């Protein structure tokens, strides 16, 4: 999201006289029944570099608190995050012919005519990397080959820090400025095995404590890609986690389990009028009134605009 759009979003909150609260305070006041009208919590997934470079200065300008759910593996290792950079390259390459030799075992040629074609290739690459259990470096090498096949300068994308996470020093700087860093797993994955599940949370927590210099562990969590199962609730509570945020659309209210907090996911493709409708509470009210459930949103569907 560009600076102008993001600042306009924050201006909408101010114009509507919203009370932008820190996450822990909002949850405590919700439980106590003391929330002020039009209460809002701002959350950012992953800890991307553009949160540091674009969002944070504007949030300071408006004096709005925010929670950053930080996934720590790519924070420590400054490589483009594989899934988004792969999708970005394919989206950017629409209209081009792509050789998959050296990218997928079966190789072949494909024409990226439009969205349907590039998303299909992305799915094939994603399936391959999942099955092959490639390391982060292995994925980065594959992304570099993909960029080369499409005629893009991958080293230039690295220098621009496109689709990178902020580094530990930048995260530490934001922490000192009052931004809250919370849990989002270490490797941006949530295993179904309880032992591996716990490892993801503990590794994530340890790195966040080291980065922020906090003597206490983060207590709030966000499911990577909005992926969760009901059994996760007990696993998280066992680890002392107090809340967990989903990608399910909706407004939080008393009676909703704190392990499945809904929210509104804003994106550049969403019009300002829809954001205003959510701020007013109209969209969720209308859908409930009409009996139309809102579908969960996967933020990793890569909502890139139509290329010019």
pLDDT digits (tens, 9 = 90+) for 85-95: 999 999 999 99
Note the pLDDT of residue 175. Answer: 96
Note the pLDDT of residue 292. Answer: 62
243 within 8 A of 220, measured Cβ to Cβ: yes
Q: Which residues pair with 221 in a beta bridge?
A: 183, 244
Of 213, 233, 224, nearest to 185 by C-alpha is 224
Note the pLDDT of residue 163. Answer: 86
pTM as predicted: 0.86
Q: What burial class does residue 88 get, using C-beta atoms within 10 Å of its C-beta: 0-12 exposed, 13-18 middle, 19+ buried?
A: buried
Note the pLDDT of residue 181. Answer: 98
Of 163, 162, 166, 300, nearest to 224 by C-alpha is 300
Note the pLDDT of residue 152. Answer: 95
Note the pLDDT of residue 216. Answer: 85
Give pLDDT tens digits for 192-221: 999 999 999 999 999 999 999 988 899 999
Q: What is the pLDDT along the chain (308 residues), one digit of tens a residue?
A: 899 999 999 999 999 999 999 999 999 999 999 999 999 999 999 999 999 999 999 999 999 999 999 999 889 988 898 888 999 999 999 999 999 999 999 999 999 999 999 999 999 998 898 888 888 889 999 999 999 999 999 999 999 898 899 999 999 999 999 999 999 999 888 899 999 999 999 999 999 999 999 888 999 999 988 889 999 999 999 999 999 999 999 999 999 999 999 999 998 888 999 999 999 888 877 777 776 666 555 555 555 444 33
Strands lying side by side in the sheet with 43-46: 43-46, 67-70, 180-183, 220-222, 243-245
Give pLDDT tens digits for 144-201: 999 999 999 999 999 989 889 999 999 999 999 999 999 999 988 889 999 999 999 9
């Amino acid at each position: 999201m560009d600076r102008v759009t993001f600042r306009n979003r924050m201006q909408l909150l101010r114009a509507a006289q919203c009370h932008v609260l820190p996450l822990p305070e909002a949850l405590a006041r919700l439980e106590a029944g003391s929330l002020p009208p039009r209460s809002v919590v701002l959350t950012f997934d992953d800890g991307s570099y553009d949160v540091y470079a674009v969002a944070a200065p504007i949030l300071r300008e408006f004096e709005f608190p925010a929670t950053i759910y930080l996934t720590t593996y790519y924070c420590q290792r400054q490589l483009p995050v594989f899934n988004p950079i792969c999708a970005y390259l394919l989206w950017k390459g629409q209209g081009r012919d792509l050789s998959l030799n050296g990218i997928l075992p079966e190789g072949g040629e494909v024409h990226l005519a439009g969205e349907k074609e590039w998303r299909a290739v992305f799915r094939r690459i994603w399936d391959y990397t999942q099955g092959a259990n490639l390391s982060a470096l292995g994925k980065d090498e594959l992304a570099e080959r993909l960029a080369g096949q499409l005629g893009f300068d991958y080293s230039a994308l690295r220098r621009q820090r496109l689709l990178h996470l902020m580094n530990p020093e930048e995260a530490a700087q934001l922490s000192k400025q009052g931004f809250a860093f919370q849990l989002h797993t270490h490797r941006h994955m949530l295993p179904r095995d309880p032992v591996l599940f716990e490892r993801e949370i503990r590794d994530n927590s340890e790195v966040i404590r080291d980065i922020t210099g906090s003597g206490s562990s983060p207590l709030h969590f966000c499911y990577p890609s909005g992926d969760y199962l009901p059994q996760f609730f007990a696993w998280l509570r066992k680890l002392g986690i107090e809340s967990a945020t989903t990608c399910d659309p909706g407004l939080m209210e008393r009676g909703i389990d704190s392990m499945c907090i809904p929210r509104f996911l804003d994106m550049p493709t969403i019009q300002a009028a829809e954001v205003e409708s959510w701020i007013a509470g109209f969209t969720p009210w209308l859908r409930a009134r009409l009996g139309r459930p809102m579908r969960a949103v996967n933020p990793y569907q890569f909502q890139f605009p139509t290329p010019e």
